[in-house]
Amino acid sequence: MALVNADSPKGVSKSDIKKASRLGEKEFQELVRKRYLEPVKVKGRVVKYRTTEAGREYCMNKAKSLKLFKYLRIRQVSDEFFINALKSAYSNLVKTSPIAPYVKISDLRMKLVSELGIAHDEFDRKIIELNSSNPYVVQLHTGSGEPSEGVKTVRGVYHYVIIK
């Protein structure tokens, strides 16, 4: 993070902070406004910034929250484990589905993403692979709804699934 990099007695230039952290001008000004970064004057003009105590605390709290987020996105799930979890979640959701045996892909995705700790894209990729490798076991079906709720494939957007 930029605030950690800016933690030096001499300070770090604004362009170095923005480059290291991919901050835009607006985000950088927000950090200065909240006094997370303080200007260091060199020959009467501000050319560098360093982290304040509040900035260090903000940075440490932000880093702690990102560790869990990164863990969730990086976690890998084997195909066998995913299939078993998929079948289990499907059997639970089909009981409450108003149009059984169809289950909304968005409901299935929400359940598995929280249970397995995988990303939405990972779920979509795996269910598309399962459908293309064995279309009888995982059957994708079109329906009405937002495209973001479904699974996008070359053939279109699918909103419902039947798992056998």
**CATH number for 157:** 1.10.10
Query: How far is Cα 52 from Cα 6, in angstroms, rounded to an integer?
Result: 9
Domain of 141 in residue numbering reads as 79-163
Which of 56, 73, 90 delimits the end of a domain?
A: 73
Q: Please indicate, yes or no, whether residues 91 and 150 belong to a single structural domain of this protein.
A: yes
At 28-73, the pLDDT tens digits run 788 888 888 887 776 767 667 778 888 788 777 776 666 554 444 4
- Higher pLDDT among residues 99 and 17, named by residue: 99
Q: Please indicate, yes or no, whether residues 67 and 92 belong to a single structural domain of this protein.
A: no
Which of 73, 108, 124 delimits the end of a domain?
A: 73
| pTM score of the predicted model | 0.55
| Residue 102 DSSP class | -
Q: Strand, coil or helix: what is 150? A: coil
How many domains in the chain? 2
Q: Please indicate, yes or no, whether residues 86 and 27 belong to a single structural domain of this protein.
A: no
DSSP letter for each residue of 10-70: S-EEHHHHHHHHT--HHHHHHHHHTTSEEEEEETTEEEEEEE-HHHHHHHHHHHHHHHHHH
| 83 phi/psi in degrees, rounded to 5 | -60, -45
The owner of tokens 């979640």 is: 89
